[in-house]
Structure 1
Amino acid sequence: MAPPGTLIVNDATSARPRPRGSLGMEIWHWLCRGFLLAGGWKIACDWPSDAKVVITAAPHTSNWDGIWMVAAAGAWRARLRYMGKKSLTQGPFGWAVRWSGCIPIDRSKANDVVQASINAFAAADDLILAVPPEGTRDLVEKWKSGFYHIAVGAGVPITTAVMDYATRTVTLKITLWPSGDYAQDLPIIQAAYADAKGKYPEKFVMTGR
Structure 2
Amino acid sequence: MKKLLGKLILKTIGWKVVLQGDANVLNRCILVVAPHTHNSEYILGNLAYWSLGRPLKIIIKDAHTKAWYGSVVKGLGGIGIDRSQKNDLINFVAKQFEKEDFSLVITPEGTRSWVPKWRKGFYHMALAAKVPIVLAAGDFKRKTMYLGYTIPYEKIASVPYEEIMKEIEEYYIKYDIVPKIPANWNPDIIGEKG
Say if 2:8 is the partner of 1:34. yes
- What residue number does 1:98 align with? 74
Say if 2:89 is the partner of 1:110. no
Displaced runs of 4 or more, over 4 A = none
Say if 2:44 is the partner of 1:65. no
Q: CA RMSD in A?
A: 1.4
Distance 1:65 1:205 in 2: 16
* Offset from partner CA, 1:38-67 (integer Å, 9 cap, x none): 121100025532331111111110010110
Distance 1:52 1:161 in 2: 14
Say if 2:30 is the partner of 1:54. yes
**What TM-score do the two structures reach when normalised by structure 2?**
0.89
Contact 1:47 1:76 in 2 (8 A): no
Contact 1:179 1:185 in 2 (8 A): no
Please point out which of 153, 159, 171 is paired with 1:192. 171
- Percentage identity across paired residues of the two chains: 31
Distance 1:143 1:155 in 2: 21
- What residue number does 1:201 align with? 182
**Aligned-pair CA distance for 1:205:** 2.0
- What residue number does 1:158 align with? 133
Match of 1:206, as an amino acid?
P
Contact 1:173 1:192 in 2 (8 A): no
Match of 1:89, as an amino acid?
T
Unpaired runs of 5+ in structure 1?
Answer: 1-26
Contact 1:162 1:173 in 2 (8 A): no
- What residue number does 2:96 align with? 120
- What residue number does 2:157 align with? 179
- What residue number does 2:63 align with? 87
- What residue number does 1:23 align with? none
Contact 2:22 2:148 in 1 (8 A): no
Match of 2:44, as an amino acid?
W
| Between structures 1 and 2, the one with greater helix share | 2
Distance 1:38 1:96 in 2: 24
Please point out which of 162, 167, 183 is paired with 2:142. 167
Distance 2:130 2:53 in 1: 23
Say if 2:52 is the partner of 1:76. yes
